[in-house]
Amino acid sequence: MLKIHGTVRSRTARTLWALEELGVAYEHVPTDSSQAKSSGHLALNPNGHVPVLEDGPTVLWESMAINLYLAEKYGRAPFWPSLPEDHGRCYMWSFWAMTELEPHLLTFLMHRVIYPAERRDEQAAKQAADTLKAPLRMLNDHLAGRDYLLGSDFTVADLNVASVLSWALFGKLDLSGVPAAETWLSKCVKREANQRVYAMR
């Protein structure tokens, strides 16, 4: 059986969401980030982070890599598209979310929600929000007239990007200026598979 190490209050949540979408049996091993430096966990991921996936002898870390692996190995179209060109688009959007959205969303969250008040820097939060405007406009323009990133069907690309952008909801980032992206995000995070993950919190 697949085994996933991590906590739902970390990037592990996006991998749990993928597993729930795929409907494969798995064991969740709750592992807080503070436990990730233990010798047992370091034997799985020498970086000392979560999540970590064990699939028989295969051990993987990095949540986006895990999700793409799961989709390719256990998924079917449309979640894992049938065309190689669409595989490339799934990689493209997933990597885009990690490079264009996640660093700035993390900064925004830290300085608006996570850090204690004395450590928050409102200027850093504002700069992160301003930096996000361009990629969010691009995402909004792409989604205009589309149901999902690759067209009419929900794919692993949508899951991966929505799992990152959902941090904007937690941080109460104003998305009203990008209505197509806001509608798409709401539709993605309300999926039953993701709601089951939220119930684990």
Residue 51 sits at φ, ψ, to 5 deg, of -85, 165
Give the pLDDT confidence of 48-106 residue by residue, as tens digits.
999 999 999 999 999 999 999 999 999 999 999 999 999 999 999 999 999 999 999 99
Mention the CATH class of domain 2-75. Answer: alpha beta
Query: What is the b/e burial string over 17-30, where b = at least 16 CB atoms within 10 angstroms of the residue's CB?
Result: bbbbbbeeebebbe
Give the pLDDT confidence of 128-158 residue by residue, as tens digits.
999 999 999 999 999 999 999 999 999 999 9
Round to whole Å and give the CA distance between 87 and 83.
6
- For residue 48, the SS3 value is coil
Mention the CATH class of domain 84-191. Answer: mainly alpha
Domain locations in the chain as residue ranges: 2-75, 84-191
pTM for this predicted structure = 0.97
Residues 45/65, Cβ–Cβ less than 8 Å: no
- For residue 130, the SS3 value is helix
Nearest to 50 by CA among 93, 8, 106, 96: 8
Please determine whether the domains at 2-75 and 84-191 fall in the same fold group of CATH.
no
